[in-house]
Each structure stands twice: as structure tokens, then as C-alpha cells.
Amino acid sequence: VQKEIRIRDIITKDAIINAVAADMALGCSTNTVLHLLAICQEAGIDFSIDDFNNISDRIPDLCSFSPVGPYHLEDLDNAGGVMALLNRINKLGIINGNSITVTGKTLQESYRDKAVFDDDVIRPLDNPYYSEGGLSILKGNLAPEGSIIKQSGVDESILHFSGTAKVFDSEAASLDAIYAQKIKAGDVVVIRYEGPAGGPGMKEMLAPTSAIAGMGLDKSVALITDGRFSGATRGLSIGHIAPEAIRGGTIGLVKDGDKIIIDVKRRSIMLDLSDEEIKKRKSEWKPKEPKITKGYLKRYSKLVTSSSRGAILE
């Protein structure tokens, strides 16, 4: 206050880039994409969902935290913490150390003397856990506006995956099928109408992803949704698919038995149908009745934007 540092002096485009770079190196939650896009919209910062891949291309994932890897956040703290990590990735030329932080000091003043004490918790740049950032944006006819995956949590054997759609119009319906052992290797679990407007509220799909992993299917089954996940995601779990089903997105046109092709390395997610067939289905599609028909959530459902823009109210 005495220095007259205001919030928009701290939240700048450089600060957002710094945050994404740190997230990529840490292999953190897919929710980062949603929240940072929302902050950028509110602050008037020119930063889009596509910028995440631009940073992911340049920042390797240096950490591997549970449930993907063996370490926890206390291990990160003991290894030098976030500032030691930033000092390490600073060599890549992305971090802007002159950004002002909430301490009133520059970011560089906070990290420049910080050392890494454990090269397995925070790996060297030439020996990362994953050659790209922990997160990646996938696009294709299933997600023209984008979708998000924690790519560092995907087993190499399924970075390219082709599977058969099993479609559910709610998280609860998908859980019933998973617990009844109706999901088999080679399936793609499609959970829709759980997006910002369709949910409404875009709740976390933690239970289905955990159930799939708990049954030992995380290396043979994919899950895609217009909902979101927690930070505990692993396996071929793709969320934030946009446009969402209730807004006429392609995910709302998928039928049981359709073939879905996911290529993480190519950042692609495709419904294996011709453009003509997709257009035909779209012409026949009718939106589902909204789950909430009155009150604040009804207004929220009408006003909320796509997850590709941070799921904000306009």
C-alpha cells in the first residue's frame, strides 16, 4: 500500500507467463488453465488457451508428484521449493524476473539465490520427467475450441489411443457403469453435459478417473468430458472439451460405438466420422432440458462462457 502497488501491477501478462511456466515444470493441475484464463479475461490480458502449448513446447516437466509419481509437496519444499524450480527454469529464457510480486519485490529477487537440494524431486533441465510441460491443449473435431490433458501423467503406451465410445450424460451414470464393470480395455468413457453451462458449474470428475485407475484400467481406457478434474488426475483423462455438449459441441453428438482417436503427441482429439456425418447429426440434434430451471444457477447457465475462455460470466 505504501508503495502504491496495485493488483494490476502484479497480475500482468509476464506474470501469467511466469505462472504457466512454473505450472508446466511442476506438472500441476489442469484447473490452472481454467483459472488463469478467467483471470486474464477479468484483467484484460491478451492470453488465450493456445498460449499454453507455446509455453509447454519450451518448458519440460521437472517434477513428478502423487498420484503420477512418488513425491509430495513437502518433498518439493524440502528440495528448495518453487523458487528453486524457477531459478532452474530461468535458464530457458521464459521467466521474466522483473515482474513485481505480492512481496513488493521482483520475482528475480525471490528466486535468484535459491538452490535445488534434491535433483530427483526437481530434476535438471537435461533429465526431465517429461520433455514438454506437464499440461497440453488438444484440439480436433471433438474439441474445436480445445481440451486439456495432464500429458506427463499418461503412460507412453497410450499416448496414441484409438477406442470405442461409451457415452454417459452425467457423471453419476458413468460411475454406475464403471462400478458394474461395464467398461473394458479399449473403451473411451464420454461424460457430457457436465460443462460450465450443462452442469451447471463444471464439477470435478475425480470419482470416475479414480475408479478407472483403481480398477487398473488407466493404461487401457480413456476418459473425455466437458467437465473438469482435480489435481489428482492421471491416465488418459481429457477434460474441458469445448464447445460443451449443451452448447451444441461435437461431444454432444457422439454415440455409443463411435471410434475416437486421441494423439497426445500431435495434440489431437478426433471423432472418426466424416464432416458430412457430423453435420447430419448436428442438424438432428436437440439440446437436453436444463437440469436447473430457476434461480441463480439458471442465470449462471445462460451467461457463463466456454471453458476455453475461463468459464466466466459476461
Query: pLDDT per residue over 89-114, tens digit each?
Result: 999 999 999 999 999 999 999 999 99
Q: What pLDDT, on a 0 to 100 scale, did the predictor assign at position 77?
A: 98
| CA pseudo-torsion sign 161, 214, 237, 29 | negative
The number of angstroms, rounded, from the C-alpha of 15 to the middle of its chain's C-alpha atoms is 19
Amino acid at 16: I
C-alpha 219/C-alpha 30 separation (Å) is 19
Confirm whether 230 is a catalytic residue.
yes
The pLDDT, as a whole number, for residue 187 is: 99
Q: What is the mean pLDDT of residues 82-86?
A: 98
Averaged pLDDT for residues 216-229: 96
- Cα separation, 287 vs 249, in Å, equals 10
Q: Per-residue pLDDT tens for 13-31?
A: 999 999 999 999 999 889 9
* CATH class given for the domain over 135-309: alpha beta
The pLDDT of 138-147, averaged and rounded, is 98
CB 22 within 8 A of CB 86: yes
Judge whether 264 and 138 are in contact, CB under 8 Å: yes
pLDDT > 70 fraction of the chain, expressed in percent and rounded: 100
pLDDT at 166: 99
CB-CB neighbours of 288 under 10 Å = 13
| pLDDT for position 251 | 99
Phi first, then psi: give them for residue 21, nearest 5 degrees: -60, -45
- At 246-290, the pLDDT tens digits run 999 999 999 999 999 999 999 999 999 999 999 999 999 998 888
Angle between helices 81-89 and 13-26 (to 10 degrees): 100
> Residue 48: pLDDT band by 50, 70, 90 thresholds?
very high
pLDDT (0 to 100) of residue 129: 97
pLDDT at 31: 94
First vs last C-alpha separation in the chain = 30
Question: Is the backbone peptide bond immediately before 208 cis, with ω within 30 degrees of 0?
Answer: no
Rounded to an integer, what distance in angstroms lies between the CA atom of residue 154 and that of residue 165?
19
Catalytic entry in 110, 162, 170, 230: 230
Lowest mean pLDDT among 26-30, 43-47, 49-53, 183-187: 26-30
Ranges in the chain annotated CATH 3.50.30.80: 135-309
Section 155-168 average pLDDT: 97
Kindly tell me if the per-residue pLDDT of 1 is higher than 80: no
| Residue whose C-alpha cell reads 486439456 in the numeric block | 148
> Residue 262 CA to chain centroid, in angstroms?
15
222-225 and 187-191 as β-strands: parallel, antiparallel, unpaired?
parallel
Please report the pLDDT score of residue 3 as a whole number: 81
Task: Report the alpha-carbon distance of residue 155 to residue 138 in Å, rounded.
Answer: 17
| Mean pLDDT, the chain, integer | 96
Give me the torsion for CA of 134, 140, 143, 145, rounded to 10°.
80
pLDDT for the residue 112: 95
pLDDT digits over 34-44, tens only?
Answer: 999 999 999 99
